[in-house]
Amino acid sequence: MVYTTYWLLRARFRWQNAMLLVASYVFYGYWDWRFCLLLLLSSLVDYVIGRQMHASEDPRRRKLLLLVSLGVNLGVLGFFKYFNFFAESFAPMFTALGMEPDAVTLNIILPVGISFYTFQTLSYTIDIYRRELKPVNNLLDFALFVSFFPQLVAGPIERARHLLPQVCSPRTIRADQVQAGLWLILWGYFKKTVVADNAAVIANQAFNNYTEQSGMGLALGALAFAVQIFCDFSAYSDIARGLSKLMGFDLMVNFRLPYFAVSPSDFWRRWHISLSTWLRDYLYIPLGGNRGGKLFVMRNLMITMLLGGLWHGAAWNFVLWGAFHGLILVIYRALPNGDGSSLRGPTRWVVRGGMMAVMFVLTLIGWVLFRATGVRDAAGNLVHTSMDQITFFFTNLTPTYTAQDLTNGYDLMFFVLPMLLINILQERSGDLLVVNRLPLIPRGLVWGLLLVAIIVFGVREPSEFIYFQF
Partner 1 sequence: MSLQTPYQPPDETLHPASPAQILVLLAMVGLLVVASNAVAWGVLKVASPNISDVQVVRKWDLLERGGVVDTLILGDSTGNQGLDPAQLDAMIGGRSLNLCTLGNFMLVDDAWMLQRYIERHGPPRRVVLVHAANVWNRPVHPASFATIPMGLGEMGRRVPSVTFKTKQKVEFLMRRYIPIYYADQSLRLMAMRPWLVPRVRPVITERGFMPRSGAASPEVIEGDVNEAVDEYERRKFGVARVNEAALHEIVRLAESGDFPIYYVDAMVSDRLVDVPAYRQQVDALHAYLRGLGGDRIKIVLDQPIGFADEYMQDSEHITVEAAAKYTEAVGLRIMEIGAGETESKP
Binding footprint of partner 1 on the chain (CB under 8 A): 175-180, 182, 253, 256-257, 260-262, 266, 269-270, 339-342, 352, 410-411, 414, 426-433, 436-437, 440-441, 443-445, 447-449, 451-452, 455-457, 460
Judge whether 311 and 276 are in contact, CB under 8 Å.
no
CA atoms within 13 A on the CB side of 180: 19
Of 162, 312, 325, 384, which residue is the catalytic one?
312
- Choice between 70 and 173, CB closer to partner 1: 173
User: Can you list the alpha helix ranges (DSSP code H) found in 271-344?
Assistant: 273-279, 285-287, 294-312, 316-334
Minimum distance from residue 270 beta carbon to partner 1 (Å): 5
Task: Tell me how crowded residue 401 is: count the other CB atoms within 10 A of its CB.
Answer: 17
- Choice between 180 and 227, CB closer to partner 1: 180
> What own/partner pairs with CB < 8 Å and gap ≥ 24 does 247-250 have?
247/3, 247/6, 247/16, 247/20, 247/171, 247/173, 248/166, 248/171, 248/172, 248/173, 248/174, 248/177, 249/148, 249/150, 249/163, 249/166, 249/171, 250/166, 250/177
In angstroms, the CA 154 to CA 178 distance is 22
- Choice between 286 and 448, CB closer to partner 1: 448
Torsion of CA 39, 45, 50, 52, to 10 degrees: 160
- Choice between 84 and 265, CB closer to partner 1: 265
- Choice between 388 and 411, CB closer to partner 1: 411
In angstroms, the CA 445 to CA 433 distance is 15
In angstroms, the CA 421 to CA 190 distance is 14
Residues 413, 324, 405, CA angle at the centre, nearest 5°?
25
Minimum distance from residue 294 beta carbon to partner 1 (Å): 22
Amino acid at 394: F
Minimum distance from residue 320 beta carbon to partner 1 (Å): 26
Active-site annotation holds for 312: yes
- Choice between 350 and 452, CB closer to partner 1: 452
Minimum distance from residue 437 beta carbon to partner 1 (Å): 5
DSSP states of 228-257 as a string? Answer: HHHHHHHHHHHHHHHHHHHTT--PPP--S-
Task: Tell me how crowded residue 150 is: count the other CB atoms within 10 A of its CB.
Answer: 24
Annotated catalytic residues are: 312
